[in-house]
Structure formats: C-alpha cells, structure tokens
Structure 1
Amino acid sequence: METMLDYINEEQETLENIIESFDVVQTNVKHVKHCLILATGSSYNACLSAKYYIEETAPVYVQIEEPFNFLHYGKIDPKIDLIIAVSQSGKSTSTIQAVEKLTQTRAIKTIALTSDVKSPITKVVDEVLDLNMGIETVGFVTKGYSATVLNLMLLGLRIAYQNESIDPVIVKRELAELKKAVSQINLVIEKTSEFWLENQEDLSAGSRFIMIGYGPNVGTAKEFETKFTETVRLPSQGFELEAYMHGPYLEANSAHSLFFIENDNVLNERSHALKTYLSEYVAACYTITTSATSEPKTLSLSIEIPEKISPLLLVIPFQYLAYQIAIGKGIDLNKRIFDDFDQILKSKI
C-alpha cells in the first residue's frame, strides 16, 4: 500500500515528466482575457498558488471561486471567456454542478483539469487537460497538489504564448526556470528531513499549528491548513501575513507553533518583525526560507527561485512535516475514517 510519503518522494520525477511533455499549443486558449477557475479543497489552494504566475505571465485576469457557494449565491462576470474546473479526482459534485449551471445561460469555453480523464467532470466540459500524474490513491493529496500548481502555471504559459504576449524565446526561458525549480524537490525533501530530525520532539508535542505567508504562498499557507487538519488532526490554520496581524494574533499563546515562509521579497522585513514580536509569546516560531542562513528553528533551503514559482518548492516541507508529525503522534494515515462520508453527504460522485 502506497503512503503519503511515497507520493511526496515521487513529486520531482512526476513534475519533470509534466514539463517534458508540455506542448504550448495544446488546447486553444487564444483570445482568453478573463478566466474563472472553480475548485475546492487542495485544488482551490493550488489555484491560489498558481494565480500570480498566470497573471504575471499572461495578459489575463484570474478569478478563483469555491464552486458550492458560487453555485448557490454567485454571479458570473459577463467578461468571463474561459471556465477552468479543477478537480483531481474529477468527482467533485459542486464543481460539476457549477459548470453545468454556468454554461446554461451562455456559451463559455470550459476546460477540466483532472487526473482521471474518464471521470464525471469530463462529461460536462468542452476539453480535458490531464494532470499527467496518474491516480493518487491516498486521500491526503501531495503529488496531485503540486501537479495541479504546475499544470496551471503551464496553462498560463499557453495563454501568454497563444495571445502573442511572449515569444518562443521567453517560453523556453520560463520552462527552464520551472525545470530548475522542480529539479530541486528531492533536495528540499532531504533538507526537510534533517530539519524534522532536529525539531522532532517539539513538533510532535505541538497542539496548535499556524502558518503565515504572503503573495503566491498564501496558497501554500492554505494548503498547510488543509494538509495539517487532514493528517495531524489538530487545530491548524494558514493566514496571509497582514490578515493575521488584524485580529488572529490575539489568540497567540504558549501552545502555538508558528511557521513563517520567507523568500526573496521586501515583505520579509514585516514577516520577520512579526516573528520577532511573537516569539516570546508562543511555543515556537519556525521559518522556512529560500535563503541561506543558520538561524535556529529555521529550514534554510539555500536556493534561488523566482517568487512566482516558489510555491512549487515551498509546499514540499509542509507536506513532509504533516506526514511525519501525524506519524509521530501515533496516527495511522493508512486507516480510513468516515468511510461513508461521501456516500451520505454526496460531496463526490
């Protein structure tokens, strides 16, 4: 039986294969200017992580909505000319229903991004993009999350190229940057393993976990929240840096373990100031940074990576730590719980 850790260890090879098989003219996205993405759970978090790359690379505006609420209360902007339905399993009931409803009133091109090209969602869209990572059988998605982020970035590259905002030279350069980032995943896993061994006792004793990020890594923070909640099964939240400073910090106490993400950005100073202030009030402040440093409680990745693609690497430590902390707390992640949940609540077909 494959485990969550097995899939984490497959991420580098999987993402390298996705880049190698990339075709810039696959699927017609010419003239796309306003894109609506429908996704929930980890798929939603992946969209948040890829949004800034897409908008910075292509002349397109990206709106991300959780389909259930949008289905019942939302109103589609008449400027929307592409709907992307993201569902790794392809069985998300709310996403399928939202696509069906939104395309009843007017013709809008629809694309499904899924790992199962024969899943129910493929029957309600115009075109299907295979995540090209196989079927992930473990419910706590890791490889599929990273594959979703990368495929969305590559879709942004397609939009940019087909709308003639970038030329083949820039496409080649962008692919080289993505490939360089992906080639360092195993190194990130190795360094995270060392960090885990150094901090294992304190992390395993944690009872409240919070992560604070900014920019494209707000998506990483939200995926931290999802993954820790699913696996460690203790109160866990991910916040945007400034949002945390507008109220949630008042909850901070000696039971809290805080994680800060830092990459090459001027906002590092504000993040560092918050960490310094809170360090005397909480159990621990940990930092995951792309820079080279020897500060305590810091996972120093010592890598150069553009901020817009940094979520591809910065999510890896939290996937790994979620698994290890859960195992450290004696949680058997191979033992299924709430087996009848989807059947009774009908959240998936």
Structure 2
Amino acid sequence: MCGIVGYVGTRQVTPILIDALKRLEYRGYDSAGLAILTDKVISVCKTEGKIADLETKLPDMKGTCGIGHTRWATQGAPTTVNAHPHVSGNIAVVHNGIIENYQELYDWLKAEGYEFVSETDTEVLAHLAHKYYKGDLVRAVIEGLKKVKGSYAAAYLCSDSKTVVAARKESPLVAGAGKGENFIASDVTALLKNTRDVVYMQDFEIVQLTGEGMQFFDFDGNPVKKKTETIEWNIEAAEKSGYPHFMLKEIHEQVTSIHDTLLGRISELSGEVILGEVTLSIDEIKDLERIVIIACGTSYNAGLLGRYLFESLAGIHTDVEISSEFRYANPVLSGSTLVIAISQSGETADTIAATREAKTYGCHTLAITNVVGTTLSREVENIVYTRAGPEIGVAATKTFTSQLIALYLLSIYFARKRKKMDVDRSKRLLVSMKQLPGMIQQILNNKEFIQKQAKRFSNARDYFFLGRSLNFPIALEGALKLKEISYIHAEGYAAGELKHGPLALISKETPVVALATRSSTYDKMVNNIKEVKARSAQVIAIACADDNEIDKYVDVVIKVPIADELLYPVLTSVVVQLLAYSSADALGCPIDKPRNLAKSVTVE
C-alpha cells in the first residue's frame, strides 16, 4: 500500500497535494514526494520520512498541476533516492503496486540506454512511458504498461501539457470531479475535502485529467463511459473506508494483503516458489539440520504454525522460541541451523537482540517482516516481506495471515529444493493458496452471523479456544485476540491437553471455540468437543462447509470454505479475528487502541 494523489485545476497545487497525502499517510509513511508542473518544467521534491518531513524541505513550488506520493516500501529501502516520484526525461510517475517482471524490463531498458538511479521497480514505469512518448501521454502510458506484469496504480505527469494520466490494475484508484479542477487518489479519503463526486476505476482503465474534465479509456485507447458516484462519508469515516474501526477494515483487507504477499512468488505451471531475497544456495538448504523460529506475541503464534509446515513439508527439525527467552537460553546453534526471525514492524527489540545473538553462532538468518529497511531487515542475510501494508489497529490481523502465507511459501520453497515435495503436490497447493483471497471473502460475507454469536457470548468471563495440529496455533491466536481487545479472559489449548487440567475450569458459563476443520485429527477433535459438552459448556465450532455431522455435538457452527487441509489455519484465523472484534464491539471497548498495549514493542 502506498498513497497516490494528483490534481489539475486553477488553484496552487502544492497545499492541495500535501493535505491529500496527509489523509493517505495510513497507507504508507516511510517516504514522500511531489512533482509539480511549472512553466513546462517538472519540479520534484522528495524525502525519506513522513509528510511533515517533506513539508520542512519544500521549496516554493508554484503550479496548478501535479502528482504526489506517500510510500510503503516493497522494493528498495525507504530512502530519499527511492522515494517517489521517479523521473525519466520529461515524465514523472508515482506508483503503488509490484512489478513482477521488473528485472526483465530493467535489463532491456538498460540495454536501450536508460540509466537507473534507484532500487525501486517503479522507475521502469517512468522509462517505459518516456520511451513510448511521441506527444500523446495516454498512448505512451498504454504502450508502456502493456509490457508490465504485476499490479499497479500509477499517475503520470508530462512537462509538455497540463494533464495527469493515471492507470489501474489490481491496486485501488479513484478519480474526483470538481468545478474547473479534477483529482486522482488511491482512496476517497484524499478527495473529500475538495469533492464528493467520484469515479471508481476498474482494472485496465486509464483516466486523463485536465482542468476541463476527465476522460476514461481502456487499454486499446477506446473511450469508456463511467458513472459518477456521490460519497456520503465524513472525513473520519473515510480514513477507515467507512468501517467503524481500523481493525475491521484491516480484517477485510486480508483479501488484498494475502493476494499481494503471493503476487509474483508462485508459478502454478512449474509448481515453484520464487523468493528473490532468499539467497541460501540449494546446497545450504539441503544441508539444513534445524530451523529455529524466534518471535513475540502474534508473530510467535505464526511461528508455531511454521514449525508444523517446515517439519511436515520440508523435513527439517524446527523449534519455536519466544525472543525474550531465547536471548538468555544459551542456545545450541551451528552453521547448519537457520534462524527465522518474525516481526511485523521489524523493530521488535527482543527479536532484534535475539537475532544478533544467533548470528554470533555462525548460523544462517532470515527475517519475515512487513516493513522494508527496518533494523531487523538489515541484520539478516535473507528476507521475505509480507506486503500487508500499514496496519493501524494494535491487534494484528492482516499482518498475521500474511506471515502465515510467507511461512507456507518458505516451507514449499525448502521442500522443493530438498526434493521432499513432488511437482504435482506443489502445483495443487499453490493453486489452492491462490484461491485463499476468494475464500476469505466468503467468510467476510458471513460476518453478520459471526457478529450475532459473538454478541450472544460477550458477557462471558472466560473463553477457551481448542485446536489440534495445524489449528493449535490458531487457538492460541484466537485467545490472544479476544483478551487483547475485549478484556475477556481467554486461553488457547491443544485439545488433547483438556484432561491435564483445563477441564476443571469448564462449566456452562464457559464458551468454548473448537477449531474442527477436516484433518487427520478431526475424530479426536470431535471427542474433545463431546468432553466439554459433557461438562455443560457451550461450544462454537469452526468447521468445513461440507461437515454436516458437527452440528449434532455443538451449539453453534461457523462454516469455512473447503480448502486444502494445510490451508485451513488461514481461514480459521479470519473467523477468530471476527469473533474477537465483534465481542469487543458488543462490549463497547476501544478496539483500535486497547489499554496498556502498543503496536510495536521497541523496548525490552
């Protein structure tokens, strides 16, 4: 996620773009920049840091046409040189998305004589538009984008004319219509101060903005008729895209964040996973004797699922350690050990310290993180970015499921390199993973039913979450989410441990969430459900859509779409997130800012 804005009109453009970018800063805040057209010259100002940092550096840039950007880095560190806009000759561009065939385009454009100054994939868009520009910016953008594979929302400025051209594929883009002025932005948030009349763009559509109006085209250059809609939201609601809380918005964004984490990393045809920033050689992967995952909180729960995946798919013994404990444990590590550090922010103090400790033993290191250029990303040799975009709510949702996806990708990658998984199995699993966003949308379409059940049990003092095998980490995560934001005491357990103590706490006042999707332990899970029902507990089962037996044993069934057995944890994660959110909402809790908690723990 990055924030894009553009304006053409009669007013001075700089304050308009700055104000719009501030309203999009939730989409990215590691660097920012503007490109302004002044007397047929494009002036650019950009810097690392937030919009406020850009404001302090802005010269007196006069003009009534321009584009702006606030960045969430996905390729290239968050530096001034990597900040947008990027310029090629008489053309500037800002971009949100991922160019999958960047390297191929980079090599070709270099051979054509173009020089690259940044580490970003966006720079190829500027050079492509410049290469094809023959006086018609719309045509140049079309011809350039026809060579691009990946996702993009991009806005272009050319010194030859007072116009902004923008295009979309798989990244949001909305145009705004004013009187004698027109706008483009990643989100209506940026537009509402100036207009409520908007046009939502679809994939493979292009818009040309002038002071007189907006024209829309398809990728063949044919005009497209678009409908203007009037937005009724206020500014506060718009920042949350109409959702009452950022957490609910971010739960819904998992449809996109999982898609983006997969984008360009899987080949269904070859059954291969492509992880360009994992530099371990095939021999080093084959020689791995052990993986140690270090993490805290929600990331630790993701790591527990990773253990199942690395052991069952890649055949590598895996341990999971809490970062703060690992630091003082005198670990047994060697050159045949891979330490995987998981941190959403990349700045978690204990995880960074634990990673530094691990490096002293000469082992390999890899990070899974959501933020480019952080301390953790600089400490390790290998990295997998989750591409979830900024997460405002303190309780992690989309970053957690994106971490799970990164772990699936890594485990399949290692399994293929170690010849522990054949091509057919890999293809089937990758195809199923690509279907996850649609399956999550099906769960979200059922959120009213989940809300109803959460409200029904919201006055409970205690909750239990039970899972087995792959679903045990999700039981822990469900309990963590519930207590984080609703303040209801909740515990997650491996269901087989019921008889070893927890059963003593079960009563009719205790709701039990049983994760009972199809697996080799399904029958065992049903027996555990019967055990808690015998103690009068009320049971909410999360089960597969084709499971017609589970209804006999429980009070409530929440169904998830049928998927590969390995992938059910992603789907059950979304359900427990909705349960936690809806419980907190029913109790009137401050969901986005729960008491005593912070988004990123950067101190011990």
TM-score, scaled to structure 1: 0.90
Counterpart amino acid of 1:46? A
Counterpart amino acid of 1:346? V
Judged with a 3 Å threshold, the aligned counterparts in structure 2 of structure 1 residues 192 and 276 are, in CA distance, closer, same or farther, namely farther
Alpha-carbon distance in structure 1 between the residues aligned to 2:593 and 2:331: 41
Deviation at 1:340, TM superposition (A): 8.1
Alpha-carbon distance in structure 2 between the residues aligned to 1:339 and 1:252: 29
Alpha-carbon distance in structure 1 between the residues aligned to 2:307 and 2:566: 9
**Pair 1:346 & 2:597 matched:** no
> Do the aligned residues in 2 keep the contact of 1:131 with 1:148 (CA within 8 Å)?
yes
Judged with a 3 Å threshold, the aligned counterparts in structure 2 of structure 1 residues 340 and 207 are, in CA distance, closer, same or farther, namely closer
Deviations 1:111-135 (A, max 9, x none): 1111111222122212332111112
> Match of 2:358?
102
Aligned to 1:315, what secondary structure does the other structure show? helix
**Pair 1:234 & 2:492 matched:** no
Deviation at 1:51, TM superposition (A): 2.5
> Do the aligned residues in 1 keep the contact of 2:367 with 2:376 (CA within 8 Å)?
yes
Deviations 1:186-221 (A, max 9, x none): 112223432432x34422222211011000111101
Aligned to 2:504, what secondary structure does the other structure show? helix
**Pair 1:205 & 2:459 matched:** yes
Alignment of 1:103-252 (within 5 A): 103-104=359-360, 106-166=361-421, 168-197=423-452, 199-252=453-506
Alpha-carbon distance in structure 2 between the residues aligned to 1:302 and 1:341: 29
Aligned to 2:396, what secondary structure does the other structure show? coil
> Match of 2:300?
44
Deviation at 1:230, TM superposition (A): 0.4
Larger Rg: 2
Counterpart amino acid of 2:410? L
Alignment of 1:246-261 (within 5 A): 246-261=500-515
Judged with a 3 Å threshold, the aligned counterparts in structure 2 of structure 1 residues 264 and 175 are, in CA distance, closer, same or farther, namely same
Deviations 1:43-65 (A, max 9, x none): 01011123323322223222111
Deviation at 1:249, TM superposition (A): 0.6
User: What's the RMSD between the two structures over aligned residues?
Assistant: 2.4
Deviation at 1:279, TM superposition (A): 2.2
> Do the aligned residues in 2 keep the contact of 1:196 with 1:321 (CA within 8 Å)?
yes
Bigger drift between 109-118 and 72-81 goes to 72-81
Deviation at 1:330, TM superposition (A): 1.1
Alpha-carbon distance in structure 2 between the residues aligned to 1:136 and 1:12: 14
> Do the aligned residues in 2 keep the contact of 1:50 with 1:150 (CA within 8 Å)?
no
Counterpart amino acid of 1:204? S
Aligned to 2:328, what secondary structure does the other structure show? helix
Aligned to 2:582, what secondary structure does the other structure show? helix
Deviation at 1:339, TM superposition (A): 6.7
**Pair 1:69 & 2:319 matched:** no
Alpha-carbon distance in structure 2 between the residues aligned to 1:205 and 1:57: 42
> Match of 1:316?
574
Counterpart amino acid of 1:285? V
Q: Which has the higher contact order (CA 8 A, sep 6+)?
A: 1
Larger strand percent: 2
Deviations 1:272-330 (A, max 9, x none): 23322322534511111114338263334263223222101111111001001001011
Counterpart amino acid of 1:239? Y
State which of 4, 13, 28 in structure 1 corresponds to 2:279. 28
**Pair 1:7 & 2:258 matched:** no
Aligned-pair identity in percent equals: 20
Deviating beyond 6 angstroms after TM superposition, the runs of 4 or more aligned structure 1 residues are: 339-343
Bigger drift between 110-119 and 302-311 goes to 302-311
> Do the aligned residues in 2 keep the contact of 1:24 with 1:161 (CA within 8 Å)?
no
Q: For structure 1, list consecutive stretches of 5 or more residues without a partner in the other structure.
A: none
Judged with a 3 Å threshold, the aligned counterparts in structure 2 of structure 1 residues 274 and 337 are, in CA distance, closer, same or farther, namely closer
**Pair 1:84 & 2:328 matched:** no
Judged with a 3 Å threshold, the aligned counterparts in structure 2 of structure 1 residues 80 and 231 are, in CA distance, closer, same or farther, namely farther
Deviation at 1:178, TM superposition (A): 1.2
> Do the aligned residues in 1 keep the contact of 2:345 with 2:600 (CA within 8 Å)?
no
Alpha-carbon distance in structure 2 between the residues aligned to 1:252 and 1:93: 37
Deviations 1:91-111 (A, max 9, x none): 11111111111212x322211
Deviation at 1:85, TM superposition (A): 0.7
> Do the aligned residues in 1 keep the contact of 2:346 with 2:375 (CA within 8 Å)?
yes
Deviations 1:162-187 (A, max 9, x none): 33334555433221021223420011
Bigger drift between 5-14 and 122-131 goes to 122-131
Alignment of 1:268-347 (within 5 A): 268-279=522-533, 281-290=535-544, 291-293=546-548, 295=551, 297-301=555-559, 303-335=561-593, 337-338=595-596, 346-347=603-604
Deviation at 1:146, TM superposition (A): 0.2
Alpha-carbon distance in structure 1 between the residues aligned to 2:439 and 2:249: 17
Larger helix percent: 1
Alpha-carbon distance in structure 2 between the residues aligned to 1:86 and 1:316: 20
